[in-house]
Amino acid sequence: MKILFLHLTDIHCKDGSDLNNHKLEQMINSLNSLGDIDECILVASGDLAYSGAINEYKVVRGFIGTILSKLGKKLDKYIKLLIVPGNHDISYGTSSRTSEDIIELFKNGKNIDDELEKDHALMKNFWDYANSKNCFKHNRSCDVKIIQFGNFTIQANLINTAPFSTKKMDNKELHYFPEDKLYSLLKKETVDLAITVMHHSTEWFRWDTKNNLEDTLLKNSEVVFQGHEHIAKGVQQIENNKNGTIISKGGEYSGRFTHESTFSAMIFDSTDFTIENTIFKWNKKESIFIKEDLFGPHKIKKKNNEFEPNDDFIEQFYADNQNLADDVTDYFVFPELNTKYKAQSEIKKKILDEEGFFSVLSEIKCINITGRNSSGKSALLKYLYKASLGRGFTPLYLGSDDYKSKKINKLLRDLFEEQYSEESVDFNRYEQLDRDKKIVFVDDFNSINHIGSRDKLLEYLVNNVGYVILSSNEIFDVNLIEPVKNALKYESDIENYIISDFYKDKREELIIKVCELNSPEICRDDIDNLIRVVDAFVLKKFGLFNLTPDFIIQYIKFFLGQHAQERRGEGVFNLIFETNIRNSIIKNSHKSEVEDFMISLEEIAFYMHFNKTENISSTKIEEIINQYCKDYAIKIDIQRFMESSLKSKIIQSSSGSLNYEFSNRNLLSYFIAKKINKLIERNGPDIEELHYILNNICFGINDTILLFLSYLRSNTKMVLNLCKQVNKILDPFEELNFDKSNISFLKKAQLDNISAPNSTDRKVYKEHATERERHLQKQEEEIRYVSIYDYDESEIERFPNNINRAIKYMEIISKSLVSQFSILNSTEKTEIIDCIYKIPNKILYAILKKYDDNYDQIIEEIKGLLDVMEGSPDIEKEKIEKFFVSFSIALCLSLYDNIAFNGSDRKTLGLLNEFEMDNSNYLIMNLMMIENGDTTDGFIENFKRLMDNSGDLFLKQLVQLVARKHIMTRDALNHSQRSKLLEGFPESSKKQILLSSFQSKKKAR
């Protein structure tokens, strides 16, 4: 909900000339530039009249009444009004009181409250008007109003600062506010936003009054509206002080047509607790209000807490080690949290957002968040710390560095003093808080090695605070839970929640946030490009691309910093992969040892792969390193090497044996590739080891080794050799040709009309992508238990293996066109592009030919199987045919898209477009290259050309499918682009998508 606070001050109404309807109309019109507004409050912060005379308030009534009427009509809302008096709202009459008189009053110890009432009596005309607007009815020093907008509650404190003013305006530091009214300014527990309206700032009050009043305001009000000074300086005057209170100082507003005027419009967004403040200034020459200054959007700090963490702690606590922002939570994405139980009968629970977390916490009291290294546990705790402050908690944070340095019986006091205040009275207040207001976050809990120490710490915490949140690398087993449960004295268990990997939905949210924060000028096309690159890494080599937020952020930073969009970011990926390995070794060894240890790992990995073993004995490791030291006349401390590699988690003890293995197969593949790369540099590409990897690319980890190898080197001979190899494999097959129908069944069944995707389709697409990644992870976990060397090399020439080899070769060939474009000569480029267009069609022909030859028999077999399946519905043969054809076409387009994605960018497209496209297959492939490598406008141009110039319904449907994919995967499409794409779809589809777009915009408003 967006709430407009229209702030006017120092209006000084005197006579009818102050009520100029044209100027008021222009003020209302200026608000159109602010966008949609849900509710509105008019704030008039004093000096409504010129001298407090009764006739002046007749003008005030007309002036403010006109504004309320016009605003109400414009917004179709009842407009709330908040008013306070200023020094011009006092009717002094013949009074000649001076500042010296007021000083004397305080000096002589006069009853100041009696003097205050005398000043109140001079404001009768203001009270009559204010009471008619339901302000200051019950108290003339301070009035508190509660405003309700749906479920959102605003507390408005109206302060009368006018008393003890003088005609000479020499009354600074003489104003007074009754101490017994300070409690009225405290923010009530049920209030969401507290504001204060006052004419004079606290600088105009006596020192004793000033300190108490200022302290109370800064601790309880999120926004304070002030006037009197006649100058609105925008950002300079709206400052985020140490308590986070926003001070909005308005300028002078005059109803006279030619008089200079300013006013401010502050929009508060209740969804994210942010404000934007715009200063408008009257341009009398053009008779229009001009935007003079804009502040925000700025997130304001909620005042729900009795305590606020100190600045030094906050600055250090939220520091971002990625150097993307001052506050690490600025780009935080809440991860998916899942319970995991050993018993299959247990129901898994899921937490998706902050609201869900605190809902679970209210019931469980103690939550343990687990996850692997860099999964985001610490960032989540920091986010929840900040969120708990906004929910009225007083949180404390216990980091792993604090475990040894603090005694348990003084732990809370020490943490409170570091994070809040060293004042003894403040800790006493903390101790007296309700337990349910206290929450402690314990990071890296597993760092406490001794279980007994863990027990003592938890027992102490749960006996002193209401909630405990832990992060650790492990799930608590029964040995820990039972004693802790006894200590907790709660009926419920400690709940274990595991941080899920960042799949498609969460990953996309993180990419967008980091890109927009780190590179505000980046266009959405480039962000979409990055999202597609990362998606491709994840899907094509699941497990190679780490799905933790830390790794994803590193990739994004390198990608943006190195301008790697045109290179598909592969070199960036390899750089990050190696950097992480090196950093792990550096952390656990001397700098001088890093290179020797890296080489040792290469030698060990190389031996293991070409001896087909996944684990190796310590004796063999020693033998390999000693041989290397002998060959190269160097010395390596084998014991230190083993300690470093184990601590760096590059190698680990092999399960069920005394041997060692690489911690994951990607590390093994990487070090093998590093060794082979050195052999190629020394001996050239015609080496036995490379031939072995190429020939057996469809088995084990050979494809991953070759993937890393392609990142490590730019060798044109290797890619040209692959072109020859793939042509040799597929020489017996002709190309798939839609025009000649050499796979005839593809046109046997009429496809349904292709419709443009709507917002629901796009949402489902992303959900399916996320679920597919989850499924891939499950497969990856299952594959871990199958040996990577469980294959028979003699079966390499079998048809499925040859096809698999050809597809993997084509991935590397198409990538090489992009990565080696500048070093390939024209003949070499022509040879590669020839492969890119022709080989995928040979692969598809080879796959589909046997189905085409036996099409009728296959359809009958499928129908027969469905007929005998229990509970299967009676499915017509035509429906089976349609599904079979649709699946086959999807296979064709998927292979085209894979090659197009890898081989097309804005550099390569020029040559790819020059290929002689003499059949529909090439036209579709080229369109997919443009879809992947060009801008949306470039794609639209070619899409429309194919739709307009083709009379073949089958080709048009394929073109529509490509366009459908483009709409599904591009968030950056503007209205014009979307409309042009929709012109190529049936009319009903076009209406549907436009209606969906309209409804989405309505919801957003």
- Sorted by sequence, the CB contacts under 8 Å of residue 872 that are 6+ apart come out as 866
Residue 747 structure tokens: 């046109």
- Sorted by sequence, the CB contacts under 8 Å of residue 461 that are 6+ apart come out as 440, 442, 468
Crossing angle of helices 759-783 and 524-540, in 10° steps, is: 30
Domain end residue (candidates: 499, 520, 546): 499
Domain end residue (candidates: 266, 299, 332): 299
- Are 324 and 462 part of one and the same domain? yes
Contact at 8 Å (CB) between 891 and 920? no
- Are 608 and 524 part of one and the same domain? no
- Global pTM exceeds 0.85: no
Q: How far apart are CA 949 and CA 984, in angstroms?
A: 12
- Are 441 and 461 part of one and the same domain? yes
Instruction: List, in sequence order, the alpha helices (H) in 784-875.
Output: 799-819, 826-853, 855-868
Contact at 8 Å (CB) between 193 and 214? no
Whether the CA torsion 713, 716, 718, 719 is positive or negative: it is: positive
Contact at 8 Å (CB) between 394 and 433? yes
- For residue 518, being part of any structural domain is answered with yes
Q: How far apart are CA 630 and CA 623, in angstroms?
A: 11
> Tokens 């700098």 label which residue?
591
- Are 405 and 469 part of one and the same domain? yes
- For residue 278, being part of any structural domain is answered with yes
- Are 367 and 474 part of one and the same domain? yes
Read out DSSP for 46-81?
S--BSS--HHHHHHHHHHHHHHHHHHHHHHTSPPEE
Q: How many CA atoms lie within 13 A of 177 on its CB side?
A: 31
Q: How many CA atoms lie within 13 A of 291 on its CB side?
A: 15
- Are 385 and 524 part of one and the same domain? no
- For residue 226, being part of any structural domain is answered with yes
Give the DSSP H/E element, type plus range, for residue 511: helix 504-518
Q: How far apart are CA 241 and CA 287, in angstroms?
A: 36
Nearest to 818 by CA among 929, 904, 711, 925: 904
- Are 464 and 530 part of one and the same domain? no
Alpha-carbon dihedral 905, 907, 908, 909, rounded to 10 degrees = 70
Q: How many domains does the chain have?
A: 5
CA distances from 740 to 293, 637, 744, 745, 852 (A): 67, 68, 8, 12, 14
Per-residue pLDDT tens over the stretch 527-537: 887 787 778 77
What b/e sequence results for 874-906 when a residue is b if at least 16 CB atoms lie within 10 Å of its CB, and e otherwise? Answer: eeeeeebbbebbeebbeebbebbbbbbbbbbbe
Predicted local confidence at residue 158, as pLDDT? 97
- For residue 255, being part of any structural domain is answered with yes
Residue 259 structure tokens: 């008089």
- Are 858 and 945 part of one and the same domain? yes
CATH at 168 = 3.60.21.10
- For residue 116, being part of any structural domain is answered with yes
Q: How far apart are CA 915 and CA 834, in angstroms?
A: 8
- For residue 222, being part of any structural domain is answered with yes
The one-letter amino acid at 684: G
- For residue 728, being part of any structural domain is answered with no
CATH at 637 = 1.10.10
- For residue 670, being part of any structural domain is answered with yes
- Are 218 and 327 part of one and the same domain? no
Q: How far apart are CA 801 and CA 788, in angstroms?
A: 16
Query: What is the distance of C-alpha 788 from the center of its chain?
Result: 37
Per-residue pLDDT tens over the stretch 661-670: 998 888 898 8
Q: Domain of 435? A: 311-499
Predicted local confidence at residue 341, as pLDDT? 53
- Are 385 and 482 part of one and the same domain? yes
Read out DSSP for 430-485?
HHTS-GGGEEEEE-SGGG---HHHHHHHHHHHHTT-SEEEEEESS---HHHHHHHH
Q: How far apart are CA 837 and CA 924, in angstroms?
A: 10
CA distances from 906 to 522, 566, 715, 771, 971 (A): 17, 7, 22, 32, 20
Contact at 8 Å (CB) between 427 and 340? no
- Are 414 and 455 part of one and the same domain? yes
Burial of 658 (C-beta count, 10 Å sphere; 0-12/13-18/19+): exposed
Backbone angles phi, psi at 114, to 5 degrees: -65, -40
Domain end residue (candidates: 299, 325, 348): 299
Give the DSSP H/E element, type plus range, for residue 558: helix 549-561
In the chain the first and final C-alpha atoms are separated, in Å, by: 9
Residues of the chain with pLDDT under 70: 109, 233-243, 304-306, 340-348, 401-406, 449-452, 474-493, 539-546, 559, 561-576, 655-657, 711-715, 775-786, 869-873, 987-1005
Q: How far apart are CA 652 and CA 784, in angstroms?
A: 15
- Sorted by sequence, the CB contacts under 8 Å of residue 117 that are 6+ apart come out as none
- Are 34 and 163 part of one and the same domain? yes
Nearest to 241 by CA among 226, 229, 227, 223: 223
Residue 561 structure tokens: 């910093």
Q: How far apart are CA 531 and CA 937, in angstroms?
A: 19
Predicted local confidence at residue 346, as pLDDT? 54
Q: How far apart are CA 820 and CA 719, in angstroms?
A: 10
